[in-house]
Amino acid sequence: MPAESFPSALTRLRRLSGMTQAQLARAANLSEAAVSRYARGVSTPDKPYVKRLDDAVGADGELMAAWTQQTSKNALPAFMRSVSRLEEEAVSVDALSPLILPGYVQHPDYARHVIRDGQPLLESEEIDRWVEARCARLQDLTQHHHLRSMSVLFPAAALDCVPRDVTARQVEHLRALDGVTVHVLPPARYLPGLTSPTQLYRLRDSTAVAVTEHLAGNVILGADRMPRMEALHRRALAASLPQPESFELLERYRQ
């Protein structure tokens, strides 16, 4: 018999305890919305919250055991907890950015502008090193690792943050890239649910992993989070333009 999932165990043990979701939330000092998400499998709680829930329903460790088994199954191997290692194992990458162009496809002049604006304390020499590393990454992944295809999705407004001559060079750079599909979000549209740069990786062993970028660092999401991330990607594609129309729009930006 398959092992019981954490959401199923949570619902079963809550009912055995005679509590409603609202009562369990109060007993565990959690929000009712959080308990509902855990029970529906929309999100997975961190270990301290599982301990509270386990104690609240009197599960004597049973709920914790279900959580441990589920998170162990979905946990990433140690070698996959580094973004650079994920990139090197990837055969395809879908990169989405709500504000600027994804770093993989940035022209050096564009990269220099956005790095300088986003990292105002960096010295010029350090900015140069960042630009070189960022702009060489796509070629390195395609020539020396396993990357076969990439798609990038970004808003047209991502070109508003740099001078017009840089925009022109960036558009030419995008046109010259092999194996990269470009989708542009036209003005007045937005990326629902995506508030930070996000990459979806398909690895050589068919594993799917997502990475979201934040000021405090990258967050690597394993198998349990992928259905939501893939759904957000589909919605973003539906809101964006196909590649031919994307380049037509980009041409207007560089004129």
| Tens digit of each residue's pLDDT (9 = 90 or more) over 181-215 | 999 999 988 887 888 999 999 999 898 999 998 77
| 130 and 114 Cβ atoms separated by less than 8 Å | no
Positions of the chain with pLDDT lower than 50, given as ranges: 1-2
Q: What is the pLDDT of residue 30?
A: 92
Six token digits for residue 244 = 């031919």
CATH says 78-254 is which class?
alpha beta
| 157 and 187 Cβ atoms separated by less than 8 Å | yes
Q: What is the pLDDT of residues 103-132, one digit of tens each?
A: 999 999 999 999 999 888 889 998 998 999
Burial class (CB in 10 A: 0-12, 13-18, 19+), 59: buried
Q: What is the pLDDT of residue 216?
A: 62
Element spanning 221, H or E: strand 217-221
The fold adopted by the segment(s) 6-74 is 434 Repressor (Amino-terminal Domain) (1.10.260)
Q: What is the pLDDT of residue 44?
A: 80
Per the listing, tokens 């030419």 go with 172
**Per-residue b or e along 14-48, where b marks 16 or more CB atoms closer than 10 Å to that residue's CB:** beeeebebeebbebbebeeebbeebbeeeebbeee
Q: What is the pLDDT of residue 80?
A: 54
18, 193, 225 from 39: Cα distances, Å = 16, 21, 15
| 141 and 81 Cβ atoms separated by less than 8 Å | no
Per the listing, tokens 């395609």 go with 142
Same fold, 6-74 and 78-254: no
What are the residue ranges spanned by the domains of the chain?
Answer: 6-74, 78-254
Per the listing, tokens 């092999």 go with 178
| 63 and 50 Cβ atoms separated by less than 8 Å | yes
Please tell me the distance from the alpha carbon of residue 59 to that of residue 53, in angstroms, as a whole number. Answer: 8
86, 123, 151, 228 from 41: Cα distances, Å = 25, 46, 29, 11
Q: Which of 150, 146, 139 is nearest to 86 (CA)?
A: 146
